[in-house]
Amino acid sequence: MTSKEPSDTGPAIEVADLTKTFGPTVAVDHLSFQVRGGAICGLLGGNGAGKTTTISMLLGLLLPSSGSVRVLGQDMLRHRHRVLPHMNFSSPYVDLPHRLTVRENLAVYARLYGLRQVGARIAELAHALDVERLLDRETGKLSAGQKTRVALAKALLNAPKVLLLDEPTASLDPDTADWIRTYLEDYRRETGATILLASHNMLEVERLCSDVLMMRTGRIVDRGTPEELLSRYGRESLEEVFLDIARERRKGVADAAE
């Protein structure tokens, strides 16, 4: 078993016929997929494909217009409280309170997650993610890359069984980004956690993900392992596959206009 292969368990995430509309706009259109327990699954698509809306519904932050979401076997519409202690989320585009120090922010979230030995857990993660020297700095004064690492530390406080990541290495230099990817691989292998990764970094997806879902205009238009997608499209990289799918959308728009 390679480092990115999931354990042989049932689905940790099950999405069936999921739809979200905002007035006349269909953001997510009858989406159905599963993510195996212990897998790192890539959720890919261009801007406006519906990735963030999908993740928001998985977390219970948005209610679907129709369809269902089950996480760790629980219906998120009916029993979200049973699952949320075992989930977490990270995005460089969601700011932590700027006036609080990094330590204060992590302590607030640790208590919200019901953690005991808060100080010890913060110290453990600060060391693991190399943010010890940032702990007593105001979060709003950090660089973009530093905020990304702090956001990941926040997401790992409760040692989640399901981790949803939006661009986890955004704004990081290549060395730090590579180090974070290694950390995520080790975390999945050591804990058996399931990770759903939304990213525009195709090299990152090829390295980390055992499964890939390709989204366009709110729908999944293709799926498979990175190797299967490369073979299907006759390409040498997922970036080329991504471009093929994106340009097919533009071709369809152009054809419809003619």
Tokens of 63: 């209610």
Reported confidence tier of residue 256, pLDDT bands at 50, 70, 90: very low
**Strand duo 40-44 + 194-198: pairing:** parallel
Q: Output the DSSP codes for 78-147.
A: T-HHHHGGGEEEE-TTSPPPTTSBHHHHHHHHHHHTT-SSHHHHHHHHHHHTT-GGGTTSBGGGS-HHHH
Give the per-residue pLDDT at 4: 61
In tens, the pLDDT along 24-46 reads 999 999 999 999 999 999 999 98
Overall average pLDDT of the 80-85 stretch: 92
Which string of b and e fits 164-173 if b means at least 16 CB within 10 Å? bbbbbbbebe
CA distances from 133 to 100, 138, 191, 221 (A): 15, 12, 27, 44
Amino acid making up residue 137: R
Do 15 and 33 touch, CB atoms closer than 8 A?
Answer: yes
pLDDT exceeds 90 at position 48? no
Reported confidence tier of residue 119, pLDDT bands at 50, 70, 90: very high
Give the per-residue pLDDT at 5: 56
Nearest-angstrom CA–CA distance, 201 and 188: 19
Reported confidence tier of residue 21, pLDDT bands at 50, 70, 90: very high
pLDDT exceeds 80 at position 252? no
Give backbone dihedrals phi and psi of 10, rounded to 5 degrees, phi first: -75, 180
Do 214 and 198 touch, CB atoms closer than 8 A?
Answer: no
Nearest-angstrom CA–CA distance, 102 and 108: 10
Nearest-angstrom CA–CA distance, 156 and 185: 14
How far is Cα of residue 182 from the mean position of the Cα atoms in its chain? 16
pLDDT exceeds 50 at position 255? no
Residues of the chain above pLDDT 90, percent:
82
CATH H superfamily, domain 11-94+161-257: P-loop containing nucleotide triphosphate hydrolases (3.40.50.300)
Reported confidence tier of residue 248, pLDDT bands at 50, 70, 90: confident
pLDDT exceeds 50 at position 79? yes
Give the per-residue pLDDT at 1: 42
pTM for this entry: 0.89
Average pLDDT in the chain: 91
In tens, the pLDDT along 187-235 reads 999 999 999 999 889 999 999 999 999 999 999 999 999 999 999 999 9
pLDDT exceeds 90 at position 245? no
Do 206 and 228 touch, CB atoms closer than 8 A?
Answer: no
Tokens of 216: 């366009």
